[in-house]
Structure 1
Amino acid sequence: MMDQPYSTLSDTALADLLKSGDQSAFAQIYDRYWRVIYGHVYKMLQDEEEAKDVLQEVFSEIWVKREQPYTNLSGYLYVSARHKVLNLIRKNKYQSAYLSSLAGFAADHSTATLERLDEKDLAAAIEREIQALPPRMKEVFELSRKENLSYKEIALRLGISDKTVKKQMYKSLQQIRLNLKDAGAMTIVILASMRG
């Protein structure tokens, strides 16, 4: 097996080598997955530094816990990253102007609610709420969250002022938040992950 370059090894083979403390196997795992994990985390946090910190924690942890069996390496990394993002939100360490109108809402819900949620159901519920928005509000919301346009870019495209865009976004988030108030803080994560 060691005649093969590390880049050609399967995740399972790399996990076995990692277990024995093989630093090259760890480096290969990092090279293989850091971009996708970083992208996943950044999509939720919209903050470069926070995303880098989470990425570092995820890979540090996999080295520290290298003796445990990793049957699904990519799945483990994805879930680990997601949990770390949720913990950041729970501890109120993460703030973003983009989600400031929802920040207080998240703090009002218990973490137990968070754990019971089915992400797919919630994403579908949010999508229903977006579709139910008044036409202009919906258009502004989708340009921001799905096409990842800035308020300025949306204003230019629709021929309205930045201020109007900001107001429409605030109203959209408020309306979605009110209609989904039983869903808990996961709403924030889903809304964030819809961006881009």
Structure 2
Amino acid sequence: MDDLAKRLQADDQTVLKELFEAHYAHVCATIQRFTAARSATEDLAQQVFIRFWQKRHQITINSSPGAYLQRMAINEALAWLRSKKNQQPEPLPAQLPNDDRHLAPDPAEQLLQQELHEQILQAIQSLPPRCQEVFVLSRYEQLSYQEIADKLNISIKTVENQMGKALRLMRERMRGYLR
């Protein structure tokens, strides 16, 4: 970790290349969970590494570079979702096909789904950093508790405790949406 920090402070561009090669696929996989378009995923992943390099002198990595980049990827995807929400919808074509297969889903249902998705993302963002990391690794990365413990160098009991805390906080935050 100290070597990485020194290399970043020294503007060693090879460290960016190494991080990109080691973590690009994982960053893309993280972003893909928030976006449907492959091109958007790749653009956002590249943006993560650009921002990482631009902020290299201010960065303090407390865990692993991979975990730090994953957090950046989640933040980048959430910012993209927020900006997409504020954009004007594309106009519909003048002539729609006559068969029902091309009809869009119910707009009210789509809006509810999008609102729920945003509430879930906000709830995840509101979690304490370690809870958030454990939750994302478990629920989004589909890692077992043992794999999470190994990846974060913590005990399985700590993973269980953090996951329990994350789920409790998520339930509290999502109370209005749960039946």
TM-score norm. by structure 2 comes to: 0.50
**Larger RCO: Structure 1 or Structure 2 (Cα < 8 Å, ≥ 6 residues apart)?**
1
Query: Could you say which structure has the higher helix fraction?
Result: 1
